[in-house]
Chain A
């Protein structure tokens, strides 16, 4: 009896020893702030005017529900994700197919293709902003050379939104490529050869052999991109500042504006809670459906 109890304690204490520091830190810098945000979302909390602070129950959430700018921002954020990620996936896949063969210099190409993924988001946003300037931007310059008339890309709602998405696609399809390529090289060539002998065409091979085998890789890569895209902020913030009008004010930018330009901390926190719930719902859904813990 005694020995058994001793053993239990002996086993338990190292777990706590190892895991507590991380849990405490995460509690302080993650869990507590989230609870704090939840709490303050029931308040009217002006950062400057102390007289304009007070408990207002669910009013913030009711107002958010009625706020057209909020719905617009949410729509833009989700639109961003559902346009950019599929395109990135398709490009990534076909380039992976293209480069899944040996020729001189292919290794260099494969490595260099990954560089955009590692460009700082801020720098990427600013560079695209520069390249799209009508008078002196490099892209505008090249486009006028092939006969496209000079346009203020970032001053028109549709083109600005498209530009923000294209910026993301430029930076992130190589990320998809990287994952899908690593999946492709693991497909035994014999499978493809067998299909070739059966006289299967290119699309047959893609749909019947490659895609089913790559499904887990696709899931991982898309999940990772999704996590990233739900948090997107800096690129767009520096590239368009949410403009023109509200055409690129994604939800994250709208929350920032409410908090740090209008100083409506309570209202912004309430929107932050909503965004968190959306993100976690998507994430947990995907994780539960597709993931098993690696460890034994």
Chain B
């Protein structure tokens, strides 16, 4: 009898530890994310999460460009084929209402709920804000970080010559005017001062907004719940565009059609002095096999315009659809992904964390010099226009900005066309 009791006790203990350690035993969640090195790494770690929680994870990676379409197909107010979906920042307004406000997310049973203000770097959470609520958990610290060649600004001879000619010290450019001076000076040394983004892609919209914000203006402002107004200040915007054109005079040949690959190649070959970059690509610049400038780059916030410093933010958030039936398990997965422990591993494959403790961890300051740069840059982060019909607004800005930058139309006409075009979009949708 006593023996039997002992066995019984052991059995109860065993079962209960099993039950308590895997509180979600038997639940399955479906997760939809974009496809890149980071999400591949997350997928490779899922086993660990499954063992600890008992949640089975179906992890679907698709090209970032198709996420919105897939979301439109599979998530609505009443049905959700996914329990957790990643959304790129500019599209949060379009789909935000489909997602449960972060304030309503349950506390985690195994991983603790992330405190958006305390745990994350300042500024990052704004990307998931829409209609008075945070619509999800920001998952990466994605923001413009400004690259400058340390070896060039520290070159003694350059320093001397520059001082003589321009009357101030050659250093990391703090304003566009300084960047322009340095670019002009470096053109005599066969170095291009600047590499723009001019491919017909979202990157061009980012550049336009970056310049507008630095010059103290923006395209849209929300007035009232379902109304927007075009607030682009023509004078400031024209100045911004003209400055960008000036900088492009010191860009490498082929600058009229530069996308990510061209910019990476030009910078890695040591031809370019200074430019913005997205954190996900920075490891390419620090890879000694591909880049002759590895170890020679200073990372910081972008130079300031007359109004302020601005850095375009582009974070992904994880959102839980209102119609999901596994909200608790989905939240648990998001908390795990954002945890310090998982982050430690993900940082190794190139994740730029949204957590302050990871980004500023002394361990990485040496290894990942750009983490501090990201942290600094995020303080100046700005959004692209936040409106449900972002894709169309972005196309209007992109097309006309590029027409102005490449000289197909004058800067004045380009800005006029942006104002006119965005107004037409607003009108079309009855804002």
Contact = CB atoms under 8 A, between A and B. Distances in A.
Is there a direct interface between A and B, measured as CB atoms under 8 Å apart in the complex? yes
Interface of B: 68-69, 71-72, 76-77, 94-95, 98, 198-201, 253-254, 256-257, 262, 265, 388-389, 391-392, 395, 399, 402-403, 406, 408, 428-429
A135 B266 CA distance: 10
B254 A150 contact: yes
A114 to B, nearest CB: 33
B69 A155 contact: no
A-B CB proximity, top 6 nearest = A243-B200, A155-B257, A152-B257, A134-B254, A155-B256, A245-B399
Interface string A244-286: 1110000000000100111100000000000000000000000
A74 to B, nearest CB: 18
Given A134-B257, A152-B256, A156-B256, A48 B72 contact: yes
A294 interface: no
B11 to A, nearest CB: 52
Contacts of B253: 134-135, 150
A260 B69 CA distance: 7
Contacts of A52: 429
A117 B76 CA distance: 44
A152 B256 CA distance: 7
A49 B200 contact: no
A242 B398 CA distance: 13
Interface string A18-47: 000000000000000000000000000001
B200 A241 contact: yes
Chain B CB within 10 Å — which of A156, A257, A262 has the most? A262
Interface residues of A, number: 26
B205 to A, nearest CB: 13
14 contacts: A48-B72, A48-B94, A134-B253, A152-B254, A154-B257, A155-B256, A157-B408, A243-B200, A244-B200, A244-B406, A245-B408, A246-B399, A261-B391, A262-B392
B69 A244 contact: no
Contacts of A47: 69, 72
Given A244-B402, A245-B399, A262-B392, A135 B72 contact: no
A50 B402 contact: no
Nearest to A52: B429
A49 B98 CA distance: 9
Contacts of B256: 152, 155-156
Given A135-B265, A244-B200, A245-B403, A49 B257 contact: no
Nearest to B389: A262
Interface string A155-166: 111000000000
A262 B391 contact: yes
A63 interface: yes
Nearest to A47: B72
A262 B91 CA distance: 11
Nearest to A49: B388
A10 to B, nearest CB: 50
B403 A135 contact: no
B196 to A, nearest CB: 12
A90 to B, nearest CB: 31
A261 B146 CA distance: 30
Given A63-B428, A155-B256, 11 more contacts: A48-B94, A135-B265, A150-B253, A150-B254, A155-B199, A155-B406, A156-B256, A242-B200, A244-B257, A262-B389, A262-B391
Contacts of B199: 155
A84 B80 CA distance: 47
Interface string A223-245: 00000000000000000111111
Contacts of A155: 198-200, 256-257, 406
Nearest to A154: B257
Chain B CB within 10 Å — which of A242, A257, A260 has the most? A260
Contacts of A156: 256, 406
A44 B60 CA distance: 31
B200 A48 contact: no
Contacts of A240: 200
B327 to A, nearest CB: 21
A135 B262 CA distance: 9
A150 B257 CA distance: 12
Contacts of A260: 69
B221 to A, nearest CB: 21
B225 to A, nearest CB: 13
Chain A CB within 10 Å — which of B199, B200, B265 has the most? B200
Nearest to B262: A135
A257 B406 CA distance: 24
Nearest to A263: B72
A246 to B, nearest CB: 7
A29 B207 CA distance: 44
A166 to B, nearest CB: 17
Contact of B402 (A49, A63, A245, A262): A245
Nearest to A246: B399
Interface in A130-162: 134-135, 150, 152, 154-157
Nearest to A153: B257
Nearest to A140: B254
Contacts of A257: 395
Contacts of B98: 48
A38 to B, nearest CB: 22
Contacts of B406: 155-156, 244
A58 to B, nearest CB: 16
B266 to A, nearest CB: 8
Nearest to B76: A50
A50 B392 CA distance: 19
A245 to B, nearest CB: 4
A117 to B, nearest CB: 29
B308 to A, nearest CB: 30
Nearest to B390: A262
Nearest to B403: A245
Given A243-B200, A244-B200, A262-B391, A48 B257 contact: no
Contacts of A48: 68, 71-72, 94-95, 98
Contacts of B72: 47-48, 263
Contacts of B200: 155, 240-245
Contacts of B95: 48
A156 B405 CA distance: 12
Contacts of B408: 157, 245
A135 B254 contact: yes
